[in-house]
Structures are given as C-alpha cells and as structure tokens.
Amino acid sequence: MTNPTAAMLVIGDEILSGRTRDANMHHLAGELAEVGITMAEVRIVADDAEAIINAVRALSAAYDTVFTSGGIGPTHDDITADCMAQAFGQSIDVRDDARAILQAHYDKSGTQMNEARLRMARIPADADLIENPVSSAPGFKIENVYVMAGVPSVFKAMVASVLPTLTGGAPLISKTLTVHRGEGDIAGPFGALAAAYPALSMGSYPFQRDGKYGATLVIRGQDTAMLDEAMAKLAEAFA
C-alpha cells in the first residue's frame, strides 16, 4: 500500500535571503519517514500574500497533508494566518480559545497582553488549534494544512503534538555504504542494481576528502528483507 504523502511550505524572507538557515524541513522529513509518510515536495516562499496563498492551495490539492513553518508571530510581517484564511475562504479574528491560552501564559510570566501579542490569537474561524508547549502561542490546522511556527524549538514541539494524530504507513528504512571510488566507476554497477530492485530508492552522494574521491551510496525502502538483500549485493559489487 502506498504511503500517505506530505509537502512543506517554508515561509519567510529571511530564508530566501540566506540570513537564516532552515532546520525545520530536515527535522520534519526525518519524523515523517519514521511514521511512514512520504515527504514529496518542499517550497520556500517570501512574506508575500499572493505567493503564500497560491502555494498552499497548490500543495493542499496535490498532497494528503501540508505543513507550513513561519509567519505566525506578533510582528507586521507575520501574515501567514491571514493568508491561510483567505486561501480557504474563512474569516479570521481573535478567537476566545487562543486568547485564553495566551492570557494564561502571560499572566503566569507577569507579561502584559498587548496588541502585538494578541495578533497571535488571530485564528481562522473553523481551524483547530495546535498545542505549543514551548511559548504557548498556538498553531492551527485548516483543511489538510498544519500551520506552525518557524522558530525551530517551537516547530519541533508542534510536530511532536501533531504526529500522533496522523495516519502513516510503512516506515522508510535507509542503509548506507561508503565507497572510495569515483562516481564514474560506481555508476554502472549501482545503476544495474537499481534496475534490479525498482521497489527500492537508490542514490549516490559523492565527496572528496584528502584529494581522494568517493561516494556514500544510500538505499531506501520499506521491505527490510529486500533492503538487506540489495545491500549485500552492493557490498559484494564494491568489495
């Protein structure tokens, strides 16, 4: 049975400018692989309403589940929540349930609830809240899209709260072999092995160390016995 599919939409000028290196995609892909959900596409868009709306509509229609990161904070450029509401034809305003969560958090810390912080309680009307045990400001689920924070520690916490609610498939298993030869020598035998095992995914990732060439060969799949068999043949080919 084919595993469910997922996509990720990374939102933020700081990612595209190179100022911030995205760590959330790497984390999410690994977590999804463990529960048998295939990460099939990742898009990065600027803090631009039209770009966000068009991207989330396309991804939502193409994949079982979509995850977004970024743009749900208290500043003027945090426009993700409004874009999600517009993308799916919902109204958006400060919601009592989200406000209560924030108010309790700020009361506990002795921090004033000001207009900027209240922006984080603006949630599309029919969305379900996503728990945020790190800083309390909730994410939300709208249609098949999980809208989450860009701060890595908060994103990870939200992913942890969402994963148990998702239906996965067979976990994706990876095995690797490091070969100290150039890819020109590797390509023939490795390509033949890939053709012999179409149910497995195989990739070659070259490197150069101390003036010598080599590659890390990776085989991925869901059938452990088949994976072990292919790895044994791979090791024999490059003994």
Which is more confidently placed, 37 or 222? 37
Secondary structure E strands in 47-138: 65-69, 92-94, 122-124, 128-130
Pair 106, 213 in one domain:
no
How large is the average pLDDT for residues 18-39? 94
pTM: 0.87
How large is the average pLDDT for residues 100-125? 95
pLDDT band for position 211 (cuts 50, 70, 90): confident
pLDDT per position as a tens digit, 121-169: 999 999 999 999 999 999 999 999 999 999 999 999 999 999 999 999 9
- The CATH number linked to 161 is 3.40.980.10
pLDDT at 70: 96
Pair 183, 85 in one domain:
no
- The CATH number linked to 212 is 3.30.70
Please give the structure tokens belonging to residue 52: 């966000």
pLDDT per position as a tens digit, 37-49: 999 999 999 999 9
Pair 68, 127 in one domain:
yes
Pair 145, 183 in one domain:
no
Task: Give the containing element (helix H, strand E) for 190.
Answer: helix 183-196
Please, are residues 188 and 214 in contact by the beta-carbon 8 Å criterion?
no
pLDDT at 2: 85
Pair 45, 134 in one domain:
yes
pLDDT above 70 covers what percent of the chain?
100
pLDDT at 61: 98
Count of domains forming the chain: 2
Cα separation, 138 vs 202, in Å, equals 39
pLDDT per position as a tens digit, 60-104: 999 999 999 999 999 999 999 999 999 999 999 999 999 999 999
Q: Which domain-ending residue is among 104, 139, 165?
A: 165
Pair 196, 161 in one domain:
no
pLDDT at 1: 53
Identify the bridge partners of residue 5 per DSSP, sorted by sequence position.
Answer: 38
Position 212 pLDDT exceeds 90: no
Task: Give the containing element (helix H, strand E) for 171.
Answer: none
Average pLDDT taken over every residue of the chain = 95
